[in-house]
Amino acid sequence: MIREFFLGFIKLHILYHASKGRICGVEIKEELRRHGYDISPGTLYPTLHALEAGGYLRSEEAVEKGRMRKYYTITPKGERMLAEAREKIRELVEEVLE
């Protein structure tokens, strides 16, 4: 239930960071941890996959420090979703935090 509540926040977080530059799963996991979300790979990877399947993210493989990693970047559809979400976040913050 808790996971269900925060999954939307997590998805927006991922979209936001993917809009700033390419990011891999490990980096996303670290970033989310910094924000207090301890997300398991069993939640993170299906979430990334769903965002990609939905057309919000695209991925490319690249070798970084001798390791093959999958990097994610936002798509135009993802940008539109993020812009729309920003408005909703603003509204929610204004109401909930007054």
- Interacting residues with Zn ion (CB under 5 A): 31
Q: To the nearest whole angstrom, how small is the minimum distance from the Cβ of residue 47 to Zn ion?
A: 15
DSSP string, the chain: -HHHHHHHHHHHHHHHHHHHS-EEHHHHHHHHHHTT----HHHHHHHHHHHHHTTSEEEEEEEETTEEEEEEEE-HHHHHHHHHHHHHHHHHHHHHH-
Residue whose CB is less far from Zn ion, 12 or 58: 12
Residue whose CB is less far from Zn ion, 61 or 90: 90
State which residue has the least CB distance to Zn ion: 31
Residue whose CB is less far from Zn ion, 16 or 45: 16
